[in-house]
Structures are given as C-alpha cells and as structure tokens.
Amino acid sequence: MSLSKNITVISVLCVTVQGAACAAQADSAAAIVVTATRTAQIADQSLAPVILIDRETIERSSASDAADLLRLHAGLDIGRNGGPGQATSIFMRGTESNHTLVMIDGVKINPGSIGGAALQNISPDMIERIEVVKGPRSSLYGSEAIGGVINIITRQGGKGTRGYFAFGAGRYGSHSQSLGVHLGDGVTRAGIDAAALSTDGFPTRQDASEERGYDNLSFNLYAGRDFGPLDVELRRWQTRGNTEYFDFFLTPLDQDFNNSATSLKLKATPRDTWATSLQLSQSVDEIDQNQSNDFAHTRRNQLDWQNDMQLDERQLLTAGVMLSREDVSSSIFGSGFDETTDVQAVYAQDDIHFGDHHLLLAGRYTDHDSFGGHTTWDVEYGYQLSERTRFTAAAGTAFRAPDATDRYGFGGNPALDPETSRNLELGARHRISERQDIAFSLFDNRIEDLIEFTDPDGFLGPLPGANQNVDKARIRGVEVTYNINLHPFSMRVEGIVQDPENETSGEALPRRAKRSLTTSLLYQHGAYQLGADLITQSQRKDSAFSSVDNAGYGLVNLTAQWRLQPDWRLIGKIENVFNKHYELADGFNTMGRALFIEARYSPAS
C-alpha cells in the first residue's frame, strides 16, 4: 500500500476532533498529529511544517513550563519578563505575540483581554505531547492563527492501571512534586494528574534586589467511556497560583492567576465512511492583582461540531460549525469594561490524494460581533518526487480579531477591523537515509491592518489617542531542520533566517531574532542518558517604543538521566551551563547557572 493510502486509512480509522486517542491506535513507529488538518496523519507527511514534542522529550528536558519546551525550536522566539511565572510571550515565525493560537486539548486558551496565552503557567507534568503547526490556520481554527497553532495535549493512559510520582529541587529555592494515576480497560478510561511548583525566584528587574517568587498548583482530570455507537469523554485542566513581580516603579507586587480548559466530547461513527464529533468547551483566564482592585477576566464558551466524510480511499472531506461566546471584564487603574462577544463560523476542508500528488483545500467564513463577516482560505499541495523526496507549496490567509481591550480599553476603538495576513510557502523534505532527513521551508507572510495606538497631539494633547488599523508588516524567511539518529547518538538541528519588518516604519519588529539556531544532542546507553540543548539567537529590537536592542546570546543546557531500577529514574539538568548573562526583555533578569534534580517513579508497563 502506498504511503498516501496509509495516511487515508489512518484518517478513516482514527479521525477525531483535535483528539489525542488516535496516536495510541496508530503504528507506534510513525508519529501521528491531528492539529494540522483536524484529522490524524503521519507527522512527516503533513503538508504544513509541524513540530512534535513527545512525552519522552518533555521528561528529558526537566522544563519548568511550556515556554521552556517551545524555546528549544528555532522560529519560536520567547520573551519573558524575568524568571518562572513571569509574563511570557511567544513570537512564531516573526509574527506578533498575539498571532499564535494556543489550545489545551483543542480548547482555545488565548485570553480575550490582551496578549497571548499564559504559557508560563502550563506545567510540563500535565502534558502528553505538544503539536506545533507553523503558518496560517484560520481556515480551520479562526482568530489568532496567523503565525501558527500550538495544541497542548494533556496526559492520558492506555489499557491497565498506571501510576507515577516525582519530586525535585533546585536553585532559587525551587521545589516540585507531581503524581498521577491512569486506568483503562478498552471501554472505560479515567485519570488524574497533579503537580505543584514553588520557587523563591530571583530579582526579576535588574535595578531591584528583592527576590520574586512563584507558586503553581495544576490538575488534569479526565473520564471517558465507549458505549459502542457513541464515545463520551470529559476533560478538565486547571492551574492556579500566585506570581510576585515588580511594577514600572520597582514596587513589589503580586497577583493571583487561574487558568482552566474544560471540554465534553461526543464522538460517533454513524457509517463506516462518516465520523462526527461534538465538542462543548469552556476556557477561563483570570488575573487578580492583590495590592489593588485591578483584574482581567476571560470566560469563553464554545461549541465545535465536526464531520469527516471519506468520499473514497483518496478523498476525505471535513466540515463543521463553531459557535462561541466570550465574556471579558477588566479594570486597570480604576478604568475598565465588561463586554460580551459572539462569534459564529462554518468551515470545510477537502483532503485529496491522487497518485504522487496531495492537495488540500480549506475555507472558513466567520461572523464576528465587532467587524461582521470575514473569509479565510488555505491551498496546500505536495508532490512525492520519489520515495525519499517530497516538495510542497502553500498559500493561505489568516486573521486576528481585535480583542476587547483593543476595542474598549485605553484608546479603545469599537470600529477596528481585523488584522489580516497572506502567507506563501515552499517546502521540501528529503530522507537522506533511514537514519537521516532534512527539511526546508521558504515563507513570505504579509500582514495588514495591524492595530497601533496613535496619539497625534501627544499623550496629554487636546485630541485623545486611539487604536487604529495603521501598520503593515512583511516577514520573509527560510527554515532548515536536520535529524540524524546513529544509535546511541542522535541529533536535531533547526535554524531560521528571517526578516521581520514593519513596512510602515521600516524598522525591525521587536522581540524577534533575525537568526536563530537550536541543537539537541542525545546519547543513550543502557541505564544512562545524556543530553545537551544549545540555543543561539541574534540581537533583537526590544520594543516599538525604544531604540534598545537586546544583544544576541548563546545558551547551553545539559541533561542527564540514570535509571536506578526499572521503575526509578534520577533526572538532572544544568540550565545555562556557562552562566551567560542575556536579556529576553530590556531591564529584566534571566536565569543564571542553575542545577535541578528530580527523582521519578513510574512502574514499567
């Protein structure tokens, strides 16, 4: 059977609504992703550039949050205002920090106030895997998916009963504990994970001397049952805690946070060629400042009904409806708003295989409260030149709806239009041998109607400033990924050269490096595993409001794992081995050399 037919078969047998269960049903030697097309496919055969971070990689990394996992991949630039728990942003392929859609088990968690998802609060102990899809995906997922999509799949079990627990400690008074139990018999499944992290931290601002701590308590629960014609699953992920920080005047403050994603999924296969799924979900993003009455709250309820129809062995048609109601309230310095936004959308995708050709067509119509109707589309094509070589080409559009703060906060403008983009991409993947492969991507992303605060008469002038659709940007770049596995050694190298430019001002877009290189090395022998992660980035403009450039830097992190017994492992990590001083945001400190050690008990299956 050809590889394209294999993909089609996987799609029929394993089709879900952004689910994760299909990964366990497919061939374990082939990594399966669902985010790129909303249906299961082999990761290496996705027409879109995909990054898959699996559970084994997560445990080896000893990362403290999701952002630490993502920054090990070129083209995913991280901005962080200090240490653990501090405000963190991601800039995918040079786009804005609010141009990346982040989901937990397919549930959107981007806040409706301002900024991106709270990656700093997502514990790696809750994560089974992360799927990153680069490039526009608004045709499938709607707003924010200009730079790409990050879908974080929470942990799950298989057949039988499995449990684990772990505890660790490290520099800056850091302590972590986690445990979990998962059970399943092929019909019923359930599980719970819990994790706690506390750290005294370090002075987040360079002009301060007081430590700023962080506490995080996270849970992940799920229960599901296969009733034959209907599969039902309920999931809830939640994290809450406290973050200490400094304000602009170096006043020590702290705030409480609460993030959650809850979903009920109903899946059925009325016919052998038709699978239907209904997902009802709610996401919550809450921040409450403890030294004042300031707060920012988002609560989003969403319905997503997806249908997948196998027209024949070469063609899979996906169509669905999405309904969303978002309630956002905020108060900053005594001024705030409380607004509700309704969004309705219909989407469709046709995934076609014919011989060595693969064509994907997708479109979406969105009806949004603030700006009315908007249409997005994607066209992707792949040609299998030989068994080892494939070429791809893609064109697509995306948008970001103005959030509630853009419309009703300081400088708010209810008449704002969406920020829109058009992306063109060429790619190639070549399997050099059974143990080596290399992939290239060329992309050109034009973004228009970027929202900017304009104040023609100055901050206190007679004419008040307001948010306007005035800026446009162009981001061109090339990405290269190389993998080699020469057991017991393996290596992954990723590099990107890009030119993120604000075409309105002619300046570089802030917080985005023009050149990045990441390398992961791994050595495994018997009970021992040694690893090294290298991150190199060029200098970056700090912000649109200053002339400061953050210097380029290079980091080396070392990891080690020793399997003391079949069920016990000792995991160690040295962060920033050479104690490099660098900045991800002007005036904010980053972590120096730090040792973290964890003991993990996980019975062998």
Residue-by-residue DSSP string for 408-465: HSTT--TTPPPEEEEEEEEEEEEEEETTEEEEEEEEEEEEEEEEEEE-TT-TTSSSPP
Q: Which residues of 450-483 are buried (b: 16+ CB within 10 A; e: fewer)?
A: bbeeeeeeeeeeeeeeebbbebbbbbbbebebbb
Cα gap 115→88, rounded to integer Å: 9
DSSP string, 150-190: EEEEEP---SEEEEEEEEEEETTTEEEEEEEEEEE-SSEEE
> Which are the contacts of 528, defined by CB distance < 8 A and separation ≥ 6?
560, 561, 562, 563
> Which are the contacts of 281, defined by CB distance < 8 A and separation ≥ 6?
106, 107, 261, 262, 263, 264, 301, 302, 303, 304
Residue 426 token pair: 């060429």
CB 323 within 8 Å of CB 343: yes
CB 135 within 8 Å of CB 48: yes
Q: Is the pLDDT of residue 22 over 60?
A: no
- Rounded to the nearest 5 percent, the helix, strand and coil shares of the chain are 10, 60, 30
pLDDT tier, 29 (very low <50, low <70, confident <90, very high otherwise): low
Cα torsion for 82, 83, 89, 91, to the nearest 10°? 90
For residue 444, give the nearest of 395, 382, 506, 400 by alpha carbon.
395
The reported pLDDT for the residue numbered 158 is: 84
Average pLDDT over residues 283-309: 97
The reported pLDDT for the residue numbered 453 is: 85
Cα 432–chain centre separation: 30
Higher pLDDT, 195 or 332: 195
What are the tens digits of pLDDT across the range 412-444? 899 999 999 999 999 999 999 999 999 999 999
Cα gap 573→595, rounded to integer Å: 6
Residue 227 token pair: 């009733």
Cα torsion for 43, 45, 46, 48, to the nearest 10°? 110
For residue 361, give the nearest of 321, 333, 394 by alpha carbon.
394
For residue 86, give the nearest of 203, 250, 170, 168 by alpha carbon.
203
What are the tens digits of pLDDT across the range 63-114? 999 999 999 999 999 999 999 999 999 999 999 999 999 999 999 999 998 7
pLDDT tier, 11 (very low <50, low <70, confident <90, very high otherwise): very low
pLDDT tier, 458 (very low <50, low <70, confident <90, very high otherwise): low
Cα gap 374→368, rounded to integer Å: 8
Average pLDDT over residues 536-560: 93
The reported pLDDT for the residue numbered 539 is: 95
Q: Tell me the domains of the chain and their CATH numbers.
A: 3-601 (2.40.170.20)
The reported pLDDT for the residue numbered 335 is: 77
Residue 41 token pair: 């496919």
The reported pLDDT for the residue numbered 21 is: 38
Distances, alpha carbon 315 to alpha carbons 12, 41, 310, 352, 357, in Å: 10, 13, 6, 4, 12
Find tokens 């998962």 and name the residue.
182
Q: Is the pLDDT of residue 10 over 50?
A: no
Q: Is the pLDDT of residue 146 over 70?
A: yes
Percent of the chain with pLDDT over 90: 85
What are the tens digits of pLDDT across the range 30-68? 788 999 999 999 988 899 999 999 999 999 988 999 999
What are the tens digits of pLDDT across the range 233-249? 999 999 999 999 999 89
Higher pLDDT, 604 or 518: 518
The reported pLDDT for the residue numbered 7 is: 38
Average pLDDT of the chain, as a whole number: 92
